[in-house]
Structure 1
Amino acid sequence: MATILSQYSTTGFYNAPVSKGLMGCMFLTCTALNVPLFAHFRKYLICKLPDAFLKGEIWRIASAKISFVDTKDLVCGSLLIYYFRVFERRYGSHKFASYLVASQVLTTVLEVLTILTLQWFSLDLHTGGFLPPGPYGVIFPLFVNYLFDIPRVAQTSVLGVPITGKTLTYLLGLQVCSTSPATAISALAGIVAGLLYRYNVLYVQQLPWVPGWLARGASATLGRLLASPPPPEGPSGATLELQRQEQIEMWEQQMMMNRAREMRNRPGANGAVHPLMQNFMGRRQNNPVQHPPPPPTEEQVQTLVEMGFDRQRVINALQTCNNDVNTATHLLLQES
Structure 2
Amino acid sequence: MMHAGPTGFRNAPVTRTLVITSAVLSVTSAVSGRPRRLGLSFQDIFENHDLLKAIPSVFAFSSIPELVAGFYLLYYFRVFERQIGSNKYSVFVLFCIVASTFFEILALALLKDSHVLASGPYGLIFAAFVPFFVDVPVMSRFRVLGINFTDKSIVYFVGFQLLLCGWKWSFIPGMCGVLAGFLYFVNAFGIRRLKLDHVQFPKKVASVVSRLFLSSSTSSTHNSTANIRRNARVPYADHRVQHNYSSVGHISMPEPPESSIATLVSMGFDGNAARQALMQARNDLNVATNILLEAQ
Bin the TM-score by the shorter chain: 0.5 to 0.7
The letter of the residue matching 1:154 is S
Within the alignment, does 1:190 sit opposite 2:177 as a pair? Answer: yes
The letter of the residue matching 1:193 is A
Within the alignment, does 1:211 sit opposite 2:205 as a pair? Answer: yes
Q: For each residue in 1:33-87, what CA deviation from the matched residue of structure 2 results, as whole angstroms up to 9, or x when unmatched?
A: 223xxx1564862532144233231211333222001111111111111111110
Q: 2:65 & 2:213 partners in 1: Cα distance?
A: 31
Counterpart mapping for 1:309-320 below 5 A:
312=271
Q: 1:305 & 1:66 partners in 2: Cα distance?
A: 30
Three-state SS of the structure 2 residue aligned to 1:56 is coil
Q: 1:81 & 1:195 partners in 2: Cα distance?
A: 18
Within the alignment, does 1:152 sit opposite 2:169 as a pair? Answer: no
TM-score (norm 1): 0.58
Who is 1:261 aligned against? none
The letter of the residue matching 1:186 is P
Q: Give 1:22 deviation, angstroms.
A: 1.3
Aligned counterpart for 1:63 among listed residues 34, 39, 56: 56
The letter of the residue matching 2:157 is L
Asked if the contact 1:77–1:139 (Cα under 8 Å) also holds between the matched residues in 2, the reply is: yes
- Pair 190,306 (structure 1): closer, same or farther in 2 beyond 3 Å: farther
Q: 2:79 & 2:39 partners in 1: Cα distance?
A: 33
Who is 1:258 aligned against? none
Q: 2:273 & 2:65 partners in 1: Cα distance?
A: 37
Aligned counterpart for 1:78 among listed residues 58, 71, 84: 71
Q: 2:219 & 2:29 partners in 1: Cα distance?
A: 23
- Pair 140,205 (structure 1): closer, same or farther in 2 beyond 3 Å: same
Asked if the contact 1:65–1:136 (Cα under 8 Å) also holds between the matched residues in 2, the reply is: yes
Who is 1:112 aligned against? 105
Q: 2:91 & 2:169 partners in 1: Cα distance?
A: 26
Q: Give 1:104 deviation, angstroms.
A: 0.9
Q: 2:172 & 2:37 partners in 1: Cα distance?
A: 21
Who is 1:31 aligned against? 27
- Pair 46,94 (structure 1): closer, same or farther in 2 beyond 3 Å: same
Asked if the contact 1:33–1:42 (Cα under 8 Å) also holds between the matched residues in 2, the reply is: yes
Who is 1:48 aligned against? 41
Q: 1:167 & 1:106 partners in 2: Cα distance?
A: 27
Q: For each residue in 1:300-319, what CA deviation from the matched residue of structure 2 results, as whole angstroms up to 9, or x when unmatched?
A: xx9x8375479758879xxx
Three-state SS of the structure 2 residue aligned to 1:65 is helix
- Pair 21,218 (structure 1): closer, same or farther in 2 beyond 3 Å: closer
Q: CA RMSD in A?
A: 3.5
The letter of the residue matching 2:18 is L
Asked if the contact 1:20–1:226 (Cα under 8 Å) also holds between the matched residues in 2, the reply is: no
The letter of the residue matching 2:57 is A
Q: 1:130 & 1:217 partners in 2: Cα distance?
A: 30
Q: 1:19 & 1:107 partners in 2: Cα distance?
A: 18
TM-score (norm 2): 0.65
Within the alignment, does 1:305 sit opposite 2:264 as a pair? Answer: yes
The letter of the residue matching 2:131 is N
The letter of the residue matching 1:202 is F
Who is 2:127 aligned against? 141
Who is 1:326 aligned against? none
Who is 2:279 aligned against? none
Who is 1:321 aligned against? none
Who is 1:93 aligned against? 86
Asked if the contact 2:184–2:191 (Cα under 8 Å) also holds between the matched residues in 1, the reply is: yes
Higher relative contact order (CA 8 A, sep 6+): 2
Asked if the contact 1:76–1:172 (Cα under 8 Å) also holds between the matched residues in 2, the reply is: yes
Q: 1:189 & 1:101 partners in 2: Cα distance?
A: 14
- Pair 84,43 (structure 1): closer, same or farther in 2 beyond 3 Å: closer
Who is 2:188 aligned against? 201
Q: 1:134 & 1:226 partners in 2: Cα distance?
A: 29
Q: 1:171 & 1:132 partners in 2: Cα distance?
A: 19
Counterpart mapping for 1:235-250 below 5 A:
none
Within the alignment, does 1:162 sit opposite 2:158 as a pair? Answer: no
Larger of the two Rg values belongs to structure? 1
- Pair 192,40 (structure 1): closer, same or farther in 2 beyond 3 Å: same
Please identify, of 103-112 and 45-54, the stretch whose mean Cα deviation from structure 2 is larger. Answer: 45-54
